Every structure is written in C-alpha cells, then in structure tokens.
Chain A
Amino acid sequence: MARYDRAITVFSPDGHLFQVEYALEAVRKGNAAVGVRGTDTIVLGVEKKSTPKLQDSRSVRKIVSLDTHIALACAGLKADARVLINRARIECQSHRLTVEDPVTVEYITRYIAGLQQKYTQSGGVRPFGLSTLIVGFDPDTGVPALYQTDPSGTFSAWKANATGRNSNSMREFLEKNYKETSGQETVKLAIRALLEVVESGGKNIEIAVMTKEHGLRQLEEAEIDAIVAEIEAEKAAAEAAKKAPSRDT
C-alpha cells in the first residue's frame, strides 16, 4: 500500500485515494466540533483543549465569521483552516462586489469544497487536513442552513452533525435526541452533544450562536457554565425520576 500514497493523483488498485483518507485521519484526531440547526437559531460548538497558562486564549478563535451571516467551525489542521478561511472570506466579498448580493450558505460551501477537491487532483500538493461545519442564514429566504465539507471535497447539508474527535459518538447522540428546536433549546442540544465527549465546564467548550437578527455571537464562559449546570440538573432529575417509580413497586 505504501507505493500508492506518494503522489495523491494516483489511485490505488482498489480505488482508494490514500492521501485523502490520511487527511480524514488527521480530521479524526482534531478537536471535536458540533453544529445544530434550529428553526431560527444555528449553534456551533467546539472542544477547547486546555489552554497553556501563558497563552492568550483570545488569539485562538476556533469559530470564525466568514461574512455577517455565515460562520464556520472546523476540525483538523488549524493552519490549513487559516488558508481556507482566508480564501472563503475573499470569495464572500468578491461575490458581493460582482453580483451585489451576499453569498448563500450553499454557494460558499460549494466554493470551499471545490477548493478542497482541487487539492486532491493536483500534482505536488497535499489535501487540506480539515473538515468544516458551515452555518448561516440565506440572505433572501432567511432559511437557516448547516453544511459539512471534508478533505475529499464532498459536501452535504445537515440538520445536525459533528466532526473531529469522537464525532461518531456525538452523531449517535444527535441521531437519538434530535428534534426541531429553536432559541435556547438549540444551544442546549449542541452543548449536550459536546458534553458526551468533552469534559464538562465552560472552560473546555466554545459555543457560538447565530441568529438572523444578531449574526454570530460567541457565548461567554459564564453563560456556558450556566447552561451546563442546567443540563446537569436536568440529567440528575431524569435519573432520579427513573429510580423513583421502581422503589414504589
């Protein structure tokens, strides 16, 4: 197999593009990221690995704005992310300049995915080692959208999704517990999914909420702690309720 991962333009005999698959491995090692789409709110959450004491945490923003109505979170190689995000931001402004309209979520997702695909079919370059979760509200219709791209350049729309470390557990949780939510309920669902795989506490989670009126808002650590406390209380109450009836019978 080693012979087939040198130049990525080469298929292996059984039809694999090994460099792309290795890139997906890099994504699997990246920090957990989750996105949940509500009826009027979209939430992005990422795991915050413990910040070194001397590091200024404000300079490590994991959820970024691409435009006033589009945001992105990613898992994988952060340096590659910087390059993609920069290109996407330029494309958002370029689109506004040429057609006098903000991009739709699908357009910018297709653009980013197209860029990722280009690097799987060129000589001498390696694929981008990251998967992105792109959220936003379409400018004309106001419909919320959540998309995911990956190093192969495929993209699709989701009601809720996770990527990065332990993404399978988070996705399983979301599949079991997803329902149409709005406002704070959407935020809670995203945090609950993250808490499945991340140590609980505002210090370890970064959450950003996007609404049509206010754009992207990063939640403060205190706010996250408060919601985490609410979730833990609900969990405890649910546990107690489960135990109580069996004692009576």
Chain B
Amino acid sequence: MECVFGLVGDGFALVAADTSAVHSILVHKSNEDKVMILDSHKLLGASGEAGDRVQFTEYIQKNVHLYEFRNGIPLATAAAANFTRGELALALRKNPYSVNILLAGYDKDVGASLYYIDYIATLHKVDKGAFGYGSYFALSMMDRHYHSGMSLEEAVDLVDKCIIEIRSRLVVAPPNFVIKIVDKDGAREYAWRESIKDAGVSAA
C-alpha cells in the first residue's frame, strides 16, 4: 500500500514516499518516483491510483509552469496548493481523481510550508502529514518525536524512524523510499532508502 509523508523543519520542508508501483499482487517496479519536483522551489508527493496520480500531477506541474511564463514570477506555495485543491474540487462531483497529495514549498517571505490535500479536495496547511496505511505508523512516530524547527539531520532521522516502523509493522510494506527536500536553495532529491534493489539482467 502506498505511503507518502512529510514534515516542515528549520527553513526546509521534506517529503518522503515509497517507490513501489503495484498492480494487484504484482510489483511492477520498486523505483517509481512519486515525489514530483513541481518547480524550482516546490515538491509534490502524491499517492493513489497510478493513472490519476501521474496525469493529475503532470497537469498541475504544467499549469504551474504556465503561470510562471505568463506572469514572469513563480506561483507562491499557498497559491499552488489552493490551485491544486481547486482542480480536485472541480473534478470531484464530475470525474474525480483518486490522488492524495502533500505539497511542500519554500517562499522567501513565508519560509518552508507543507500542505495536506486529500482526494476529496480537503486542504490543510500542516507541520507534518501522511497518507496511506503507513500513515498510522508515520503519524504516530512524528507525534512522538516531531518538534518545530528541527534540523535536517534530526528530520531525516525521524523519517528513518518512520520507515523502520512501516517496514517492520506493515504486512505489505513497501521496501524502498525516496526522500526529497526543498529549502531556499531549491527543491532536490535528498536520498533513497532501498532494501531491495531491482536486480540487473544476469549475464548469459
């Protein structure tokens, strides 16, 4: 079961997601990147139906880029979150998307922020959030260990604690995770946590 979680630290925000692409009982791949770099200073971690996830997040990304070209400045994180939520809300009673999103961003005036957007277009600005079965464990760990203004080391340590809980306590636990961060220097991949590497083709 897919898992996305994130938190806000001191001058940065962090989003982690599992990296398995699953179809019924088959794992297609275990290095599927579900945390999209929305623009230079925004991350979009998404979980949900595979088609919806990719289609919806790419649609949001292109519209965020269009705004930047039209207006000469990037969209603020709050604005991007509200736009995303609006699109989900519009589709909700017509042709809903089954996608849960954690949107993290850094703005010069506001600092780092994290938005929780679920598939029925709920929008909350939060310090920590999580989706999926893994959220039961991730949220509990974060409730216990999170405090505002964590350093990057402390935050990654907390993320690792969450991943350990998920791996050990969830019956169909995803083996691999990706961690991305966004701060004043931009959005970027921080690390992977792999317990299974996709095996290469063995020599004949």
Chain A interfacial positions (CB closer than 8 Å to B)? 61, 65-67, 86, 89-90, 92-94, 96-97
Residue numbers in B under 8 Å from A86 (CB-CB): 70
Cβ contact of B59, chosen from A61, A89, A90, A97, cutoff 8 A? A97
Q: Are A96 and B62 in contact (CB under 8 A)?
A: yes
Q: How many residues of B contact A (CB 8 A)?
A: 9
B170 CB within 8 Å of chain A: no
Closest B residue to A66 by beta carbon equals B69
A65 to B72 Cα, complex, angstroms: 9
Chain B interfacial positions (CB closer than 8 Å to A)? 58-59, 62-63, 65-66, 69-70, 72
Give the interface SS of chain B, mostly helix, strand, loop or mixed.
helix
Residue numbers in A under 8 Å from B62 (CB-CB): 93-94, 96-97
A89 to B65 Cα, complex, angstroms: 10
Pairs across A and B, CB under 8 Å, 5 listed = A86-B70, A89-B70, A93-B66, A96-B62, A97-B59
Residue numbers in A under 8 Å from B58 (CB-CB): 97
Within the complex, what minimum Cβ distance (angstroms) separates B169 from chain A? 38
A188 to B65 Cα, complex, angstroms: 32
Closest B residue to A86 by beta carbon equals B70
Residue numbers in A under 8 Å from B69 (CB-CB): 65-67, 89, 92-93
Identify which of B59, B63, B66, B70 gathers the most chain A CB atoms within 10 Å of its CB: B66
Given A90-B66, A97-B59: 4 more A-B contacts, CB < 8 Å: A65-B69, A66-B69, A67-B69, A97-B58
A97 to B72 Cα, complex, angstroms: 21
Residue numbers in A under 8 Å from B70 (CB-CB): 86, 89
Residue numbers in A under 8 Å from B66 (CB-CB): 89-90, 93
Nearest 6 pairs between A and B by C-beta? A93-B62, A97-B62, A93-B66, A89-B69, A93-B65, A97-B58
Within the complex, what minimum Cβ distance (angstroms) separates A105 from chain B? 16
Identify which of B58, B66, B69 gathers the most chain A CB atoms within 10 Å of its CB: B69
Within the complex, what minimum Cβ distance (angstroms) separates A111 from chain B? 15
A67 to B70 Cα, complex, angstroms: 10
Identify which of B59, B62, B63, B70 gathers the most chain A CB atoms within 10 Å of its CB: B62
Residue numbers in B under 8 Å from A66 (CB-CB): 69
A72 to B143 Cα, complex, angstroms: 52
A67 to B59 Cα, complex, angstroms: 16
A61 to B70 Cα, complex, angstroms: 12
Residue numbers in B under 8 Å from A94 (CB-CB): 62
